[in-house]
A and B are shown apart, each in its own frame.
Chain A
Amino acid sequence: AQKITQTQPGMFVQEKEAVTLDCTYDTSDQSYGLFWYKQPSSGEMIFLIYQGSYDEQNATEGRYSLNFQKARKSANLVISASQLGDSAMYFCAMRDYGQNFVFGPGTRLSVLP
């Protein structure tokens, strides 16, 4: 069975600084996808970034990058130049092709002015 672990219940970061949110995963499958979603207080899950298990380069999407270390089964999210609007819950998730998401428990990020 797939499992996602996020060991940081809450994180604080100063505005304009970078922050890393940790994610480790467990799966016996060779082909899978790793995702990060942002959930503001409105409830909507907002897609941030995707990394395929066979992708050799780390994914980047604007200020978001995914530090993928396959041997360690980690997929940490790095947010550069934090903004006040980045304050939200962040969920790491994985998904096999054809399957649905398994989410971690989330990390609450608070950006301080």
Chain B
Amino acid sequence: DAGVTQSPTHLIKTRGQQVTLRCSPKSGHDTVSWYQQALGQGPQFIFQYYEEEERQRGNFPDRFSGHQFPNYSSELNVNALLLGDSALYLCASSLVPGTNYGYTFGSGTRLTVV
């Protein structure tokens, strides 16, 4: 039973570019959340998708956007990249929003902006 899979694992982008990160949730899960983890810090919540809609959002600018597909997979898009966007981006999936159990994280995508 595959867990949460994220792609790519690493990528390097130039300041000002746009990037798309992808996440496939754990089998049976329908809710996807995204987190940004800067070096040396704990993860920070970006947003959550359920039923193909953004349900909750953290304190991140509109440059961060997302999408959820009918198969529950999700994308995180970041426009006009800044050096400060360099971080590990973690995707987590769960069965319906709000549950405290079965919340599963992927291994993340490490984004470097140069």
Tell me the A residues contacting B by CB distance below 8 Å. 4, 33, 37, 42-47, 50, 52, 91, 93, 95, 97-106
Contacts and interface: CB of A to CB of B under 8 A. Distances in A.
Given A44-B105, A100-B45, A105-B41, 16 more contacts: A4-B42, A45-B90, A45-B92, A45-B105, A46-B105, A47-B103, A50-B101, A91-B42, A93-B42, A97-B98, A100-B33, A100-B58, A101-B35, A101-B45, A104-B42, A106-B42
Contacts of B104: 47
Contacts of B43: 45, 91, 101, 103
Interface residues of B, number: 25
B29 to A, nearest CB: 14
Contacts of B105: 37, 44-46
B91 to A, nearest CB: 10
A97 B103 CA distance: 12
Contacts, number: 52
* Shortest Cβ-Cβ A-B pairs, 8 listed: A103-B42, A45-B105, A98-B98, A43-B108, A44-B107, A100-B45, A33-B100, A43-B107
Contacts of A91: 42-43
Interface of B: 33, 35, 40-45, 48, 56, 58, 88, 90, 92, 97-98, 100-101, 103-108, 110
Given A50-B100, A52-B100, A100-B58, A42 B42 contact: no
A105 B42 contact: yes
Nearest to A101: B45
Most chain B beta-carbon neighbours within 10 Å: one of A44, A95, A99: A44
Given A33-B100, A50-B100, A91-B42, A99 B108 contact: no
B88 A43 contact: yes
Contacts of A33: 100
A106 B41 CA distance: 7
Contacts of B97: 98
